[in-house]
Amino acid sequence: MKKMSLLFSSFCLCLLFANVACASGTIKIGALFAVTGPASFLGEPEKKTLELLVKEANGKGGINGQKLEAVIYDTGGDATKAVQLATKLIKDDKVSVIIGPSTTGESMAVIPVVEKEKIPLISCAAGIKITDPAKHWVFKTPANDHVAAEKILNYMATKNQKSIALLTVTDGFGASGREQIKVLAKQKGFTVVADEVYGPKDTDMTAQLTKIRGIKPDAIICWGTNPGPAVITKNVKQLGLKTPLYMSHGVASKKYIELAGADAAEGVMLPAGKLAIYDMLPKNDPQYKLLKSYDQSYKKAYGVEASTFGGYAYDAFLLVTSAIKKSGATPELIRNGIEQSQKLVCISGICTMSGKDHNGLDLSAFEMVKVVKGDWALLK
């Protein structure tokens, strides 16, 4: 009996030490960002944001007593490379969750990998098809592109702008935006009078814009990520086009104004996350404190203001750490915790997930802004 008691005591001690070891272990967070290449304006701030947040969290003792380790790979914006690196994160690095990729095309390519391997993925890309229909292991932090499209169309309606010329990039983000705008336009009584496209590497879109000028639409909606939209903005200025120009949320950073030039970008309108204009928000806005804190921390660490795109990685980190605090650190528990997120105050909006909604954001995620003298101004 005494021997059995000793064995039981030893077993309990082993469990105790195992639990202590688990509690003091390291949680590996994988990340896939387009740090270099055409989409580096997305991936670079995402990488820097995640590194900053992991450092801050570890400085405070980690999450539930466990330190965090970010394993970050640069995809260069290449979907094939993203798949290879996602596999490496899962098989070799043994991560519990993956944040990224930065673009819609990469995210769509990686989805079959994480679904098969049962590792939660939180994409930093906006394409609606990433999470619609909902996939068991896949989430994303930017608001769906149909939300941004609806924000534009709702504003256009107040200006009685009814005929639209589309100019969209031929990648995953552009194709998704184009599809969503056309569906919403039909539902809301708008007419798409021109439907032009351009390639991600195109350096001049005057041919498409000349066609659009001849049709005389009430407004032009360009859907893409830099550098294309900046080129289009310059071309519009060069052609002397006076047609109101709307951009997607894909260029909602000062980098767009810098690339296009303040003079050419003057008057361009687009839906932007609140980070871009947080200093114009009322102080009682539920996101104000978080937005200010993120911007100040980022400026202190890197010497430049935080961007909406870095905010996508911030929100992914918030979802992951909130899930770990609430549920646990295994892939399954993190996945479950993310899906149970309710009214989580994030950089991109107030996030409420469900089994059918793995994005959790609505129209309140965006404010319509206008470029005025090289900066953003709120549209009323």
Dihedral sign for Cα 62, 118, 20, 31, please: negative
Summarised one tens digit per residue, pLDDT across range 210-244 is 999 999 999 999 999 889 999 999 999 999 999 99
Q: Is the pLDDT of residue 339 over 70?
A: yes
**Domain locations along the chain:** 27-144+288-362, 146-279+366-378
* CATH 3.40.50.2300 is right for the domain spanning 146-279+366-378: yes
Distance (Å, whole) CA 345 – CA 318: 9
Summarised one tens digit per residue, pLDDT across range 74-116 is 999 999 999 999 999 999 999 999 999 999 999 999 999 999 9
Check residues 19 and 312 and name the one with the higher pLDDT.
Answer: 312
- Residue 150: predicted pLDDT: 97
CATH superfamily, region 27-144+288-362: Response regulator (3.40.50.2300)
Q: What is the DSSP string of 269-302?
A: EEEEEGGGGGGGS-TTSTTHHHHHHHHHHHHHHH
Tokens of 120: 């939660």
Phi, psi of 220 (to 5 degrees): -115, 130
Q: What is the DSSP string of 338-372?
A: HHT--SEE-SSSEE---SS-SS---GGGEEEEEEE
- Residue 29: predicted pLDDT: 98
SS3 192: strand
Check residues 207 and 8 and name the one with the higher pLDDT.
Answer: 207
Q: Is the pLDDT of residue 256 over 60?
A: yes
Sheet holding 375-378, edge to edge: 191-198, 163-169, 219-223, 245-247, 269-273, 366-372, 375-378
- Beta 375-378 vs 366-372: how paired, if at all? antiparallel
> Where does the pLDDT of residue 366 fall: very low under 50, low under 70, confident under 90, or very high at 90 and above?
very high
Distance (Å, whole) CA 274 – CA 272: 6
Distance (Å, whole) CA 307 – CA 252: 8
Q: Is the pLDDT of residue 132 over 60?
A: yes
- Distances from the Cα of 20 to the Cαs of 14, 25, 64, 174, 263, in angstroms? 10, 8, 11, 49, 60
SS3 92: coil
Distance (Å, whole) CA 49 – CA 67: 17
Q: Is the pLDDT of residue 245 over 50?
A: yes
- Residue 9: predicted pLDDT: 46
Q: Is the pLDDT of residue 13 over 80?
A: no
Residue 96 DSSP label: S
- Beta 269-273 vs 366-372: how paired, if at all? antiparallel
pLDDT exceeding 90 applies to what percent of the chain? 86
> Where does the pLDDT of residue 118 fall: very low under 50, low under 70, confident under 90, or very high at 90 and above?
very high
> Where does the pLDDT of residue 38 fall: very low under 50, low under 70, confident under 90, or very high at 90 and above?
confident
> Where does the pLDDT of residue 380 fall: very low under 50, low under 70, confident under 90, or very high at 90 and above?
confident
Average pLDDT value for the chain: 93
